[in-house]
Structure 1
Amino acid sequence: MAGDDQRQGGVDSGDRVEPPPSFVEQANVTDADVRARFEGDWPDCWAAAADLLDWETDYDAVLGGERPPFRWFDGGRLNACHNCVDRHLGDRKNQVALTWEGRLGESRTYSYLDLHREVNEFAAALRDLGVAEDDVVTLYMPVVPELVVAMLACARIGAPHSVVFAGFSADALATRMAAADSTYLVTCDGYYRRGAPVHQKNKADNAAIALDDDVEATVVVDRLGDDAPLGDDEYDYEDLVTEYRGATVDPVPRASTDQLFLIHTSGTTGEPTGVRHTTGGYLAHAAWTSRAVLDLEPEDTHWCSADIGWITGHTYTVYGPLAVGATTMLYEGTPDHPEKDRVWELIERNAVDVFYTAPTAVRAFMKWGEQYPEAHDLSSLRLLGTVGEPINPRAWKWYHEHIGGGDCPVVDTWWQTETGGMMVTTLPGVDTMKPGSAGPPLPGVDARVVDAAGDPVDPGETGFLVLTRPWPGMPLSMVEDDGWFADHDPARPDLSGFEWAYGTEDGATVDEDGYVTLLGRVDDVVNVSGRRFATMEIEAAIADVEGVAEAAVVSGPHDLKGRAIYAYVSAAEDAAEADLREDVADAVADAIGPVAEPDVVVFTPELPKTRSGKIMRRLLEAVASGEDLGDTSALRNPEVVGELESALADRDR
């Protein structure tokens, strides 16, 4: 896609990067016409994804129904656990399926045979505890192997799981269990955070009280080793798998459209929303994107740094990598504990091939300095990826150069909890990369950027990203309902002109090559003096200032304007704040216009983030406005709140 003057494997003045020939030679997808082929054969093109799975009963049609209810791989029956474990027991039974690095320096590995045995034992235990097909089992654990075992054991017996992020409070757990009508819980006694124990079981007990003790059985994993006594209807995980040692449970065939799991959105900006994903469509989408975008092969070790409590951990730590027979790496700790080279130490030790992380993590790595990755051998890396939010060009280039050595393609992926898997990104063996732009829609995906009237925007103009065709990983709510046209208001486009469409509520631009650049949620705006500004546009301009590690923009009070633009800026350690303040204003003025310059710039050592690495902008807005902070149980670094309040009080307006 780039011109002949683009140099291979490097960034040129036009900010286009070609995949190195050495990568293309071994890539899973190298056909430059793959999008045209998928388009010409839609929806049957998605049989390529279904063909990556084993089916108990063959499907009758790739897509049943031209309008909701959609039925992906209609008539087919399969089991997700069989596809992630059992079918790899031939030549790969002794291959490592999971490798785990604990917070205190422990490590464990499970071959596919080991995983098969423990999943069967726990599945037998769950079944005898009363868990039946279609019962929802809640899993409330940190990133430990038992969480993956429990997910697969639930899938084996046809019981949907609902993973609740371990950092959430007792009230958040109770709310999610009640919403899922779940009366079975798997948790742990606790976990370690920066070496200190966190007593998880206490939160689980409080949630049970909030639910009027309407929990039929609780299984507790011993993580802290404190041998705390268990109450009635509570069972020790290790005792159960020992009791059922050697037990086998036949995988329960499920209809392709049956529910595989329920997952709630993070809840950091409002009430959590439950999203139910299907068995066949979701798993096919996860497997296909793991092969085509992450380029995973069975011999690869893949590390997705997302917590399994989020959809990224579901799809690209558990189901996608295991479905294609790769080794997936789990890490319980944080990237800077005990030292800031922890990530690079683990990549070197485990010879990681593919590393998939959040742009916020990349910007933190930048802030800490390249001396940390340079102290380790990262030559095993073949592909890098980002997920969760747009990555600004400067961070992209740093990641490409200092982590990938200039030889690893970087896939900047856009997708959502609702989509189940990747939707917009480059294919690393095919596409030119453009730092800061996610890329074109994946083959078979129809993603468009439209204006408020639902018409296509011109290249470079800001609009709304919408999906105008169904895809295999879509959730049950979209599969079943005929009501996914967003109500038309100034913040959302009119989608009534499409036969079917899903408004993603993300703002975006598209260039002349069809590459999509994401601008953040359309409701992430600041309204100042009657003018609306997308916070992501301002943040991107600030983040590209030399000396800025990352930035977050919110709306806050102002004596004259009523509302103003507040920019929270985390600077590199050697940056001078006085110079940066001026550079930030100039960068925003150049990129957007003087009217978008922040009224208040607050420098802070770090930004408040969830344990998945997302910036809690809601909390920043509360600090700016002097309001109650609300639920902060998902906050990874609660100590930063006091620093922000002090910095804001001492700011130089």
Structure 2
Amino acid sequence: MSYPYQIRTFEDYQKAYQKSVENPEEFWAEIAAHFTWHKKWDRVLEWDFKGPGAPIVKWFINGKLNITENCLDRHLPFRGQQPAIIWEPNDPEEHYRVLTYQQLYDKVCQFAQVLKNNGVKKGDRVCIYMGMIPELPIAMLACARIGAIHSVVFGGFSAQSIADRINDAQCSVVITCDGAFRGNKDVPLKSIVDDALVQCPTVKRVIVYTRTRTPVSMIKGRDVWWEDELKIVETQGNPKCPAEVMDAEDPLYILYTSGSTGKPKGVLHTTAGYMIYTNYTFVNVFNYQPGEIYFCTADIGWVTGHSYILYGPLSAGATTLMFEGIPTWPDAGRFWDIVGKHRVNILYTAPTAIRSLMAHGLDFVKNKKLDTLRVLGSVGEPINEEAWQWFYEHIGKKRCPIVDTWWQTETGGIMISPIATVTPMRPSYATLPLPGVQPAVMDEKGQEIPTTEATGNLCIKFPWPGMFRTTWGDHERCRKTYFDPYPGYYFTGDGCIREKDGYYRITGRVDDVLNVSGHRIGTAEIENAINMHSDVVESAVVGFPHPIKGQGIYAFVICTHLDDPELTRKDILETVSRVIGPIAKPDKIQFVKNLPKTRSGKIMRRILRKIAEGEMENFGDTTSLLDPSVVEEIKQGRLAMS
């Protein structure tokens, strides 16, 4: 398979970008023509970012297709025996698995029939809570095959977090495993699901795959084994399970992300535009060549895994490698062992992982077979220059371009990034917008800065096919969060600098959302969890620079009584872990008597942010504070913790 729309030179990029801005409908229609459709679209685009029902975004209107036919069926005549998924297990002693396109197709059809046998139909929501095993993408594709909407929940989330997501999406089925392996830990997934389902009346069926052989409770009439259900399908004669014909704008999946309020929001992606955009960005950003082995280290529970382990690579007929474990187990050479073992050509990972591996030193890199690597990529947060240089020099051996990609759960795919082998690189810069992406830098007054050089808040002023359509069940929340701050624009929540040559540098979040290890966590969500502890009166959470995670979580906490601060600290961490999951546990907890508040009761977070960062001066105007002496008290407490 060749890619007629692949950008090969900087001149190609300039021409493609110009056309995508001047005539976006023609530009995307030409790319869409390379996919399999049951019925071609009537119109390419309808949109409104500003009106009363905003956002309204529809791509390829009245087009009919199924994403799995584009990820599987259309490849079978030419690449049926080519590896689609290579799976590397957590334990290096366990044998890896390879699924060809034909094998993956057969397994997806089988499991799609399992879902049908268990009452799942088009439009139903299915929650998937599994470890990083091939059955996870099989389950996702099986849902898409029959028109069910999948909602994958990251395996590190707690029972309460799962329950919140299941209830918001009104899921009828949960797909899980008995447990998962992650480094030297066994995660009891089914047990966590059981705890969640106590408060989830909509769930009628739980399908359980055997992975760890952990003893589990199987509830009669609700829980069934994946393997037993497959046997039933086999006795029915292994049906091919024809793909449900979907409208271009039918929902594909819901993925929950943190926001500036306590409740996670379900970001909804639809079918055609998302497929076309993930394919286009995958093929171009990574300069993917047919037959190459592509390794994205993300967890499929996050959007990176959806777009760049599954839908982007498979729609392009690529070989995608997924990994069950973590980069530092059994030692810090695990990634590089995988690269050598499977002769990986493209490696896409997170700055957090790179910084963590840097900290272990070069002994784990020495004598590793990294000669097949051709392209490196980073995702989740801007990569700092030190990590960029280490990655470039020691992993890429100064010959692999690094694509520092900026995008979000809501954007569906990469938005601003170098194109491998095409765009001149610059450490810590996302560089240039991809074709179809029209960024705008906004000033404090809400006006777009017209000059090339600009510093402000990053917005997007024109729709792109991969963008989300709404937040599930709450379109008003979508409008208020993303389209109200700058009417007529999508507000990303990130700040940026645009240089005179048009290169963009992302400077981080400008709202109450932290970027921890490349994952967005709302401060309000963490505060809500801390406040559930029986001794906590109030809390305020801010971010601070962290050498590995990028941003750490710093909590200022007021308690009713504090007999044993260390025990209370551990209790709060356990509370957060149970309510949200270990990913949201604060790195530092400082107990305080009061918080700096204005007379209207608003917490002055900018002061707390500076104190958390270790800056004890230049707090700006504090005259509006109800009690300015609070600041000095918190400063002294911070110094005592240092």
How far did 1:48 drift?
3.9
How far did 1:434 drift?
1.1
Matched, 1:223 2:211: yes
TM-score, length basis structure 1 = 0.77
Aligned counterpart in structure 2 of residue 407 of structure 1, from 391, 399, 416: 399
Which secondary structure does the structure 2 equivalent of 1:201 belong to?
A: helix
Which secondary structure does the structure 2 equivalent of 1:474 belong to?
A: coil
Change (3 A) 1:183 1:296: same
Q: How does 1:140-539 map to 2 (within 5 A)?
A: 140-212=129-201, 214-226=202-214, 228=216, 230-232=218-220, 233-245=222-234, 246-266=238-258, 270-457=262-449, 461-477=454-470, 495-496=486-487, 500-523=488-511
| Partners of 1:446 and 1:467 within 8 A in 2 | yes
How far did 1:204 drift?
0.8
How far did 1:352 drift?
1.0
| Partners of 2:10 and 2:423 within 8 A in 1 | no
The aligned amino acid for 2:78 is D
How far did 1:159 drift?
0.5
The aligned amino acid for 1:216 is K
Q: How does 1:53-202 map to 2 (within 5 A)?
A: 53-65=35-47, 69-105=56-92, 106=94, 107-202=96-191
Say what the alpha-carbon RMSD is for the aligned residues: 3.5
Change (3 A) 1:281 1:26: closer
How far did 1:33 drift?
2.5
Aligned to 1:621: 555
Which secondary structure does the structure 2 equivalent of 1:192 belong to?
A: strand
Q: Deviations over 1:40-75 (max 9, x none)?
A: 322321124323421111112221356653320111
CA distance in 2, matches of 1:95, 1:623: 55
CA distance in 1, matches of 2:215, 2:169: 30
Change (3 A) 1:369 1:270: farther
Change (3 A) 1:104 1:650: farther
The aligned amino acid for 1:470 is P
Matched, 1:35 2:17: yes
Q: Deviations over 1:361-416 (max 9, x none)?
A: 11112222233223211111111111111111221122111111111111111111
The aligned amino acid for 1:38 is S
Change (3 A) 1:339 1:622: farther
CA distance in 2, matches of 1:377, 1:30: 33
Aligned counterpart in structure 1 of residue 577 of structure 2, from 625, 632, 652: 632
| Partners of 1:453 and 1:494 within 8 A in 2 | no
How far did 1:456 drift?
3.8
| Partners of 2:300 and 2:306 within 8 A in 1 | yes
| Partners of 1:450 and 1:493 within 8 A in 2 | no
Q: Deviations over 1:482-532 (max 9, x none)?
A: 9976589xxx99624xxx31111111110001111111110259xxxxxxx
Which secondary structure does the structure 2 equivalent of 1:620 belong to?
A: strand
Change (3 A) 1:34 1:624: farther
CA distance in 2, matches of 1:462, 1:186: 45
CA distance in 2, matches of 1:637, 1:474: 26
CA distance in 1, matches of 2:509, 2:191: 36
| Partners of 1:69 and 1:482 within 8 A in 2 | no
Change (3 A) 1:88 1:387: same
Q: Deviations over 1:60-101 (max 9, x none)?
A: 222135665332011111101111111111121011111111
Change (3 A) 1:501 1:636: same
| Partners of 2:182 and 2:324 within 8 A in 1 | no
The aligned amino acid for 1:467 is I
Q: How does 1:11-26 map to 2 (within 5 A)?
A: none
CA distance in 2, matches of 1:273, 1:34: 34
Which secondary structure does the structure 1 equivalent of 2:505 belong to?
A: strand
Which secondary structure does the structure 2 equivalent of 1:336 belong to?
A: coil
The aligned amino acid for 1:508 is C
Aligned to 2:28: 46
Q: Deviations over 1:115-166 (max 9, x none)?
A: 1111111101110110011001110111111110000000000001000111
Number of residue pairs matched by the alignment: 548
| Partners of 2:307 and 2:412 within 8 A in 1 | yes
Q: Deviations over 1:228-266 (max 9, x none)?
A: 462222111112223213221000010000000111015
Aligned to 2:610: none
Q: Deviations over 1:423-480 (max 9, x none)?
A: 1112223211111110111111111111022334456653000000011011121899
How far did 1:216 drift?
1.0
Change (3 A) 1:26 1:259: same
CA distance in 1, matches of 2:511, 2:7: 43
The aligned amino acid for 1:83 is N
Which secondary structure does the structure 2 equivalent of 1:211 belong to?
A: coil
CA distance in 1, matches of 2:46, 2:542: 49
CA distance in 1, matches of 2:491, 2:260: 21
Q: Answer with 436-445 or 632-641: which moved more.
A: 632-641
How far did 1:652 drift?
7.1
| Partners of 2:80 and 2:100 within 8 A in 1 | yes
Change (3 A) 1:447 1:44: same
Q: Answer with 296-305 or 28-37: which moved more.
A: 28-37
The aligned amino acid for 2:197 is A
How far did 1:29 drift?
9.2
TM-score, length basis structure 2 = 0.78
| Partners of 1:485 and 1:495 within 8 A in 2 | no
The aligned amino acid for 2:91 is L
